[in-house]
Amino acid sequence: MLSKSNPNQIITIIRCLFVVLMITNSYGQNTTYNQFWNEFQFNQTLSKKWSTEIDLGAAYSSTASSSNLFENTIQRSVRGWAHYYYSPRWKLSTFVAHYNNRDVPEIGQFESPEWRFALQGIYYFHKTGYTLSTRMRTEFRHMRNQDDDYENVFRYRQQIKYLQPINSKVLRKGVVYAVASDEIYFKSGAKVTGESFFDRNRLNIGAGYLFSDDIQIELCYANEYLPRNSGTQITNAASLTVSFNNLLRNIQKEIASKNDHHLKDEEE
């Protein structure tokens, strides 16, 4: 049924459910933060079925007294992935990551280093002119709380994502694309992240551009709704992601090509 549905209708239904959840839950006074997230992704193809990825990320945030979204550096992270392409529709992944959380409004204004491990599956509904996908991710988080004790937090994330090229029917060099997604988070209770079962809802809307088949950039607006016992937090964030595919391999090819041209010029 889902593969035959209009993707815009699916996203609208999810957003309506989210609004109902907001209305039916009251968590006190709202607090709004402005943030900037950036991430650099380095992907490396190993074979037709396997690839690896390293992500380097940073996040900045406003504070209660300043609306400047670069007021505080709240998080830095490094994440290593392994991807397995089971079929044209299924992509299975796992990662291990370290997050240096500092002054994160979500968990409190204290330093909370974190190790994170995850299992993920993405199912693609390939359509002519657009791609609809759904992502399932289970995360195990080992985090330090404000008492300097480490807690284990389990979190499940469910996302639906719509991607459509603007000036072409396929993604390739020179193509601009539009992207929209909505993701719901559920978690186990812990002192460091709160006791509520519903963690948050994240909406992303934005666009991307492919400089080549191996380099692309994506800029999005993200809205996060986080219900907490101490008060609901709402985050408005600008998100910038830059992706490189086979960067080292392409650099080696470029160097080898220049060396070959240099040798030919000397022979002539």
Q: What is the third-level CATH fold of 29-262?
A: Porin (2.40.160)
Question: pLDDT-derived band of residue 104, with 50, 70 and 90 as boundaries?
Answer: confident
Sorting pLDDT into bands at 50, 70 and 90, what band is 42? very high
pLDDT for 118 equals 98
pTM for the full predicted model: 0.83
- Contacts of range 153-158, beta carbons closer than 8 Å, 24 or more positions apart: 153/187, 153/188, 153/190, 153/192, 153/193, 154/187, 154/188, 155/185, 155/186, 155/187, 155/188, 155/199, 156/185, 156/186, 156/187, 157/183, 157/184, 157/185, 157/186, 158/134, 158/183, 158/184
Higher local confidence (pLDDT), 4 or 42? 42
Q: Per residue in 220-237, pLDDT tens?
A: 999 999 987 777 889 999
Confidence grade of residue 136 (pLDDT, cut at 50, 70, 90)? very high
